[in-house]
Structure 1
């Protein structure tokens, strides 16, 4: 684009052909090429060439308007001369025009075949050459120079012309035509006739352009600086490495790799694991120390190094010493102690053997978790415990794959690292509380861990190498086995822990609980002692549990009250807690002995139940009343228990004549079976015998002995089927001072589990049929 001065003596005709220009405002002094494609525009160019070559150029308001009308074209434009024309092969015309003078459209003469418009030349008002004009022109020139220095593309010829111009209006036009203004902004400039005002407007537009250019330059500089900084750091790091090499100092990254290699040598990895570790180490050497992948790779290698591939503790094979430790830590629990000593005995005879996988099942508070610690101490092994309660994510067992951000090995591998040996006692607490959701099934992930045939090559997703778990002694704990999947149950050796009798609790309290609570509450050995009767009262009247947690809490509560008296100086002598003093410390008894069975009653039978927290006594009451033969069951019973009641009624109806019941009685009377403590859910088949006894007692009006408790599932033919939890049920009977327990004959095999001193306290009668039960339970009519 070139610039030149227009002819001042130019005579402009009254009307000229009009060429609407799309994307540019043509100023005087401008020489520029234009492409003309619209039919009307081509016709206007040809008309101008046929005459004096003058044409009116005016910008159209909307760029996309293909057929602009009268209202779509600005009224102020430039009269230009067509200097040259070239026809293109596609029918378009290329012309070279030179802007001559500003002019205004006075009206449209014709619109076809091209626009012909009335034109009036616009003359600028004169201005006095004053200091303000000179200052403004100098400011504008400086602004243009700054714009060029910030990267604005303006040709040198334009800069020379601007530097030599003395006319303010012409200077404004030249600059406005060369700084790339939008059409609306350029049109605004061309319409200002006052040269000084026009120059001021150009100055404002230049100032805005300078701000934009400065911001653009800052952004580019910032980007270059960031790029330059990283390159600079790289060169500096390389130079530092070279300097360290010259000085004989080790490169920190090389030092890291060397340390890791040395640790891998000592870690004793198996062949496959060592090959993988070497491969990953070679990858680490090629990585940049600042990259995210470097730290991820380094962490992985640290895990490989820290795992106890070959480290193991030596088992304490002195059976007498191990037995002493087990006796010291726990009272009774003979079966478990025997199993541990068997394991040690076999270990002594055969060095290479797989670790057992045990599962302790029993009510809360009987010492399952503490038993694991005791076993580890007896064996001389490290102890690791993880709680599985509420765990729902399979990755907690197997770990996450290394591709995930923040990936870690699973809890099994973490536990082994924590132990620092590959043969710890590993306790999986609360295995019956495992959950399952969209993240997987942790119990299925445990199948490999707890299988001696598979766990010699356990694969964690993070480590992704086979790790030998066969030396680990796994101990799982559970309150009940029902929620544990059968496949998992099959892999474990289940050892059941029953609740404790009052005598056992007394011994445990004296040997373990009182010394522990005394120490926990800051009392010395001679400052407090409990009488045996006080402890028995605590056990029978203030707690009702299979385990010992609440008993220990109550002992702790008494110790705290005594400790306060010593701390306040009110007590100087040792305190002996007697049977009568218990109520003073803890308030009235919470659990009173059942008084419903003070005498033989009709329609009331004593049953025995087995719950998560041990055995318990269950009363079944039956009433008959006039009605239409309906059966009502209450007491928050489960489906199985309701079915037991219906089976008992069917048995009674089928044997009505033998039992001395009028068969018509069932048609004219309603029967109501109720199990008290209605807020507590009850279910299971083992109350079938109890329900039948209470029902037959109510129908025959023969009382049930107050001293007999019973358990067993009943068939329609009157046979008594075996049940579970016999020891817990017998314990409950002893706690409630029941003298005789009726049990299914097929449970005689379980009598071995009941201690001899317990069997002396209660008379155990085996029953095969309902006739045997009725014979033992019902009292003859007076």
Structure 2
């Protein structure tokens, strides 16, 4: 097969219409076989063969009912209209002759060969182009169907073949004549035919105008209207447009009346409808205007759902769908309470920030359900083009509104819950900065008059409840971050994960894997081991995958007939899921010299961190290992400097630096570690190694240290406390300023731990080191 041949290309028969190469226009497709051909084309390479029918009233055309020459076109867009038909945007590519025709399944196919233009004398073609443009200009002056703007566009064309095609597409001639132009390979012949056709059309127009002037003098109003209607019917039947543009304009006018637009927008829509009525149906401008009007009438301008402001009901729905996340739920209930009192509050703009899998997106859905609003989601991950937010100018082919306006169309109300998913993953390049375009959307003072480049008229977003989600708040530009109310979701604790698994994830996976509740039971200790040893994450996606694995194993056992009911115990877990994937820190079995247990916070929750110090003869070098970040290295230096400055008070030889090298190591060297909470742990391990006093095995600690020995506050106390409880520690030393965070820690964890708030390193040493309290 050569480049000029195409085998088994989908074929779309056209009724009363013809597409030339380089033409871009909309087609309304309703026949089932035509729709199937379009869908097959979009699954292949978007190419389709467009060929006209000889008779417009044949629904199932055979080979002899079609012309043998058509146009290979590319399908650029396909939209399903409310009336059930499909509106398709196509671009003509090449002339082509049909060699074979077949009906394959639910659509037609054809084997074709591309037809190349035949050129002769370039000078002669140039002369014919000028004659054609001259004749077309005269035709435009006497014709009301072709505008001066159309002529200006045609006059800019310098390719003779393209000029002939574009002029023919704008002439109100019969389909048979247009087909004759399409089939003419020789460009010179094609130009001559068009010059002759335009001359004939001009003569007909002049005769019509002459007859019109004569008839106008003697015709009464009713006769005039009757004549025009009959003339319109005859023209429409000739063109194959039985319903006619009049019916379409009437439908659009009815939609505009029902859309309840603001008066200013309605005037714009009616003005565009007037333009649409005057522009020829075959003109590309016609489809642009219609597309714009349909967007205007399909947007919600005043339709809104009534909020259900029952705070107790909303709280029940949020608790039913999500365990924990108290701060977010509290903020939503506050919004409902204030709206119930004021009735005139603007939609809040919340940003749920947290690691993947903690339920940010599903929480937004629950918020919409709890207040009885429509929910619409737009994913912003990877968006680089500003036009994705603000839309394209209507002058571009295939222009569309931005994602905000598209989302409002899907919502069908002016007050939905609008989720802007992954707002931290927008990027900017030469096409603009979409995050800057979001500034207007997310500013309560500006979004009442949001302007989309396609719609052009102001659209009110002030009643929308925007909820954004982000994994990393640092990636959101400052001005955009300033417009949102940040609500941080740190991740789920072990206790919360257990509840979520029991109440939501396990029942869901049992159902999805075809089991019954009675066929699979997971014991508490097995579930806890699954959370601790098989997952390490802030959310619950990994946990859900592991539970799905358990369900599949149980399904296999039951289907094989080995058992009718599977009870998963802690021992069985390794048989079903393999060896544990993760380990977690455990408390030391006895007091250690030069080793202290710190508490760390990671994106997957809390963990314990052992810090070891070794002292050996040397020249005072300080070595730090364990893949430490800059902050932890600085903490070690600060602890080292503090101990040197207080050596005498700590019963340490002041000249220890000159005689010894010191090595500080944090095990698991392959794991990067950083953060400002290991200062007091490093200092304690150093003092223990230098004085020979062991560190109590049951004590964990967290806090930053200054050069003067002050203990500074840290974050993630809740997660760190859970890791200490899991590791078997009984006492936690925390900064005094973190006492306020103790209320966030579950009571079940507080019962097994003693929290010791401290302000200075001396207090830390008193609590952490064995063999009596130190007198500083």
3-state SS of the aligned residue for 1:618?
strand
3-state SS of the aligned residue for 1:686?
coil
- The equivalent of 2:730 in structure 1 is 739
3-state SS of the aligned residue for 1:705?
coil
Q: Which runs of 5+ in 1 are unaligned?
A: 1-149, 152-215
Structure 1 residues 500-579: aligned runs within 5 Å: 500-568=492-560, 570-571=561-562, 573-579=564-570
Offset, 1:572: 5.3
Q: Is the 8 A contact 1:501 1:731 kept in 2?
A: yes
- The equivalent of 1:715 in structure 2 is 706
Q: What is the TM-score normalised by the length of structure 2?
A: 0.68
Offset, 1:650: 1.2
1:285 aligns with 2:283: no
- Pick the aligned partner of 1:334 from 326, 338, 348: 326
Q: Is the 8 A contact 1:499 1:731 kept in 2?
A: no
3-state SS of the aligned residue for 1:386?
strand
3-state SS of the aligned residue for 2:677?
helix
Structure 1 residues 282-681: aligned runs within 5 Å: 282-568=274-560, 570-571=561-562, 573-595=564-586, 597-681=588-672
Offset, 1:521: 0.7
| 1:5-61 deviation line (CA, Å, top 9, x unaligned) | xxxxxxxxxxxxxxxxxxxxxxxxxxxxxxxxxxxxxxxxxxxxxxxxxxxxxxxxx
Deviates more, 1:266-275 or 1:223-232: 223-232
Alignment partners' CA distance in 2, 1:772 and 1:311: 65
- The equivalent of 1:221 in structure 2 is 189
Alignment partners' CA distance in 2, 1:234 and 1:557: 78
Q: Is the 8 A contact 1:614 1:728 kept in 2?
A: yes
Sort the Cα spacing of 1:330 and 1:465 in 2 relative to 1 into closer, same or farther, 3 A: same
- The equivalent of 1:76 in structure 2 is none
Offset, 1:251: 6.3
Sort the Cα spacing of 1:747 and 1:482 in 2 relative to 1 into closer, same or farther, 3 A: farther
Structure 1 residues 245-284: aligned runs within 5 Å: 245=233, 252-284=244-276
- Pick the aligned partner of 1:762 from 737, 749, 753: 753
Structure 1 residues 25-36: aligned runs within 5 Å: none
Alignment partners' CA distance in 2, 1:354 and 1:234: 62
Alignment partners' CA distance in 2, 1:728 and 1:340: 25
Q: Is the 8 A contact 1:364 1:613 kept in 2?
A: no
Sort the Cα spacing of 1:518 and 1:222 in 2 relative to 1 into closer, same or farther, 3 A: same
- The equivalent of 2:231 in structure 1 is 243
3-state SS of the aligned residue for 1:621?
strand
Offset, 1:694: 2.1
Alignment partners' CA distance in 2, 1:674 and 1:283: 78
- The equivalent of 2:35 in structure 1 is none
Q: Tell me the number of residue pairs that the alignment of Structure 1 and Structure 2 aligns.
A: 568
Q: Is the 8 A contact 1:502 1:735 kept in 2?
A: no
Offset, 1:320: 2.7
Q: Is the 8 A contact 1:500 1:731 kept in 2?
A: no
Q: Is the 8 A contact 2:585 2:608 kept in 1?
A: no
3-state SS of the aligned residue for 1:656?
coil
Offset, 1:769: 1.4
- The equivalent of 1:777 in structure 2 is 768
Sort the Cα spacing of 1:503 and 1:289 in 2 relative to 1 into closer, same or farther, 3 A: same
3-state SS of the aligned residue for 1:609?
strand
Q: Is the 8 A contact 2:593 2:692 kept in 1?
A: yes
3-state SS of the aligned residue for 2:466?
strand
Deviates more, 1:630-639 or 1:247-256: 247-256
Offset, 1:380: 1.2
- The equivalent of 1:697 in structure 2 is 688
Offset, 1:557: 0.2
| 1:229-287 deviation line (CA, Å, top 9, x unaligned) | 78999999999985345799986333333222221222222233223323333332332
1:728 aligns with 2:719: yes
Alignment partners' CA distance in 2, 1:566 and 1:231: 85
Q: Is the 8 A contact 2:365 2:375 kept in 1?
A: yes
Offset, 1:304: 1.4
Query: Structure 1 runs of 4+ off > 4 angstroms?
Result: 226-242, 245-251
3-state SS of the aligned residue for 2:687?
helix
Q: What is the TM-score normalised by the length of structure 1?
A: 0.68
3-state SS of the aligned residue for 1:685?
coil
| 1:643-695 deviation line (CA, Å, top 9, x unaligned) | 22211211111111111221211122222222222222222222222222222
Root mean square deviation, CA, Å: 3.0
Sort the Cα spacing of 1:727 and 1:221 in 2 relative to 1 into closer, same or farther, 3 A: same
Alignment partners' CA distance in 1, 2:530 and 2:456: 55
Sort the Cα spacing of 1:286 and 1:491 in 2 relative to 1 into closer, same or farther, 3 A: same
Deviates more, 1:246-255 or 1:645-654: 246-255
Offset, 1:556: 0.7
Q: Which has the larger radius of gyration?
A: 1
Q: Which runs of 5+ in 2 are unaligned?
A: 1-123, 126-183, 209-226
Offset, 1:424: 1.3
Q: Is the 8 A contact 1:647 1:715 kept in 2?
A: yes
Q: Is the 8 A contact 2:422 2:470 kept in 1?
A: yes
3-state SS of the aligned residue for 2:473?
coil
